[in-house]
Amino acid sequence: MRLEAMAVTIPHVEGHPNRVPFEGVLTLVNTASDKAPSGARGHRVLLTREAAELALPSLLGMAVDYRPGWDGHDARRKIGLLTEANLAGQKLMVKGYLYGRDFPEAAREIAASSPNALGMSYELADARVEDMRAEVWKLTRVTFTGAAILLRDKAAYRTTSFRMAS
């Protein structure tokens, strides 16, 4: 197993009311998505490990968003911050904080959701596709611009996950 990791060090503040830690599987690398993500014109996608490794720094400090109903992305509803990203095998793992005091309704809904209900989805810019005619688009270069929390069955990768850490 190969591990690549990056993190932003944020000082621990005991009992901070607006920092609710979370962790999740953002996506899988070298694996075709289960369905086409929005923006892929109906194509499933495959993020190469090399592209993910190069793009890890672009994840740090990016926002985590959600949409009411947990069925997609809404870049104007930023409820958290990504502070850590690492590749563990095929999984691109992330950690960060939700703004629990600023978005108490979202934090309550997440806490009340069943353990395997939520997943994640990435947001990209400047993606390079190896062959635009291919059935599965192979992403060879990307810049991460954020992530979304959504229902697993709405995510392009159904094996993503999201949970508030204890």
Query: Is 94 within the bounds of a domain?
Result: yes
Query: Is 60 within the bounds of a domain?
Result: yes
The domain containing residue 91 runs over which residues? 18-164
- Tokens encoding 86: 């690492």
Query: Is 139 within the bounds of a domain?
Result: yes
Measured in Å, how far apart are the chain's first and last C-alpha atoms?
Answer: 26
Provide the whole-model pTM. 0.92
114 vs 11: CA distance, rounded Å: 30
Neighbours of 107 (CB within 10 A): 20
pLDDT of residue 38: 86
pLDDT of residue 10: 86
- Tokens encoding 153: 């069955």
Tens digit of each residue's pLDDT (9 = 90 or more) over 68-78: 999 999 999 99
Query: Is 10 within the bounds of a domain?
Result: no
Q: How many domains does the chain have?
A: 1
pLDDT of residue 165: 85
- Full pLDDT tens readout for the chain, 166 residues: 555 667 778 888 999 999 999 999 999 999 999 999 988 999 999 999 999 999 999 999 999 999 999 999 999 999 999 999 999 999 999 999 999 999 999 999 999 999 899 999 999 999 999 999 999 999 999 999 999 999 999 999 999 999 998 6
Query: Is 77 within the bounds of a domain?
Result: yes
Helix, strand or coil, per DSSP, at residue 49: helix
